[in-house]
Chains A and B, each alone.
Chain A
Amino acid sequence: DAKTTQPTSMDCAEGRAANLPCNHSTISGNEYVYWYRQIHSQGPQYIIHGLKNNETNEMASLIITEDRKSSTLILPHATLRDTAVYYCIVRAPNSSYKLIFGSGTRLLVRP
């Protein structure tokens, strides 16, 4: 029941920006967009989240369109260690606010 759509895979060159798109056209006004990544055999790592405004932290930037129907995660200078599966998630609007993971985007950073 994932509410997001992401490309299955992407690649980028080391040192370049990685731009990962996500479509969440059915998002409602009070639902947050979260990004996690998962490196093989490890637990998901929190990256960033936002509601309406663009957000930036030490790991990445999150750009949310004005209509909130899509967003882009930007890794400004990708390194080989950024190779992972990236999940774009809209939290479920109920009391538990669970995270509903889709299939994610497998990002390969090339040397």
Chain B
Amino acid sequence: ETGVTQSPTHLIKTRGQQVTLRCSSQSGHNTVSWYQQALGQGPQFIFQYYREEENGRGNFPPRFSGLQFPNYSSELNVNALELDDSALYLCASSLGVSQGNTIYFGEGSWLTVV
């Protein structure tokens, strides 16, 4: 158990729709990052939030957006869903942005776009 919880665990959306995924970080962790993992591949970094500000972004289009709230929980929003957005979306939390800290992952949200 990492203390990182994600919801929903599974969902199905239609192409063109919008989706919101939620994440509660481990208690006390002020940094949340999101990763996308397509079937058979390693996770790919989407973006990171530190103290409610985005402080790093991977190679994902602007229709992938996020928020971090004062309690450090976070949301990932994806607009205009495409079939290739079907993947496991992982949330990870850590304390601060030090390179030597430990990052803990949740179990992920499986998104299927049809």
Contacts and interface: CB of A to CB of B under 8 A. Distances in A.
B107 A98 contact: no
A87 B97 CA distance: 21
A10 interface: no
Contact of A94 (B42, B56, B98): B56
Interface in A1-47: 2, 30-32, 34, 36, 41-46
B100 A101 contact: no
A99 B103 contact: yes
A103 B42 contact: yes
Given A43-B90, A96-B33, A49 B100 contact: yes
Main secondary structure of the interface of A (DSSP, over half): loop
Contacts, number: 68
Contact of B99 (A31, A43, A44): A31
A51 B100 contact: yes
Interface string B1-28: 0101000000000000000000000000
Given A99-B45, A101-B42, A43 B106 contact: yes
13 contacts: A2-B42, A36-B105, A43-B107, A46-B102, A51-B100, A87-B42, A95-B55, A95-B56, A96-B33, A96-B55, A98-B33, A99-B45, A99-B92
Interface of A: 2, 30-32, 34, 36, 41-46, 49, 51, 87, 91, 93-104
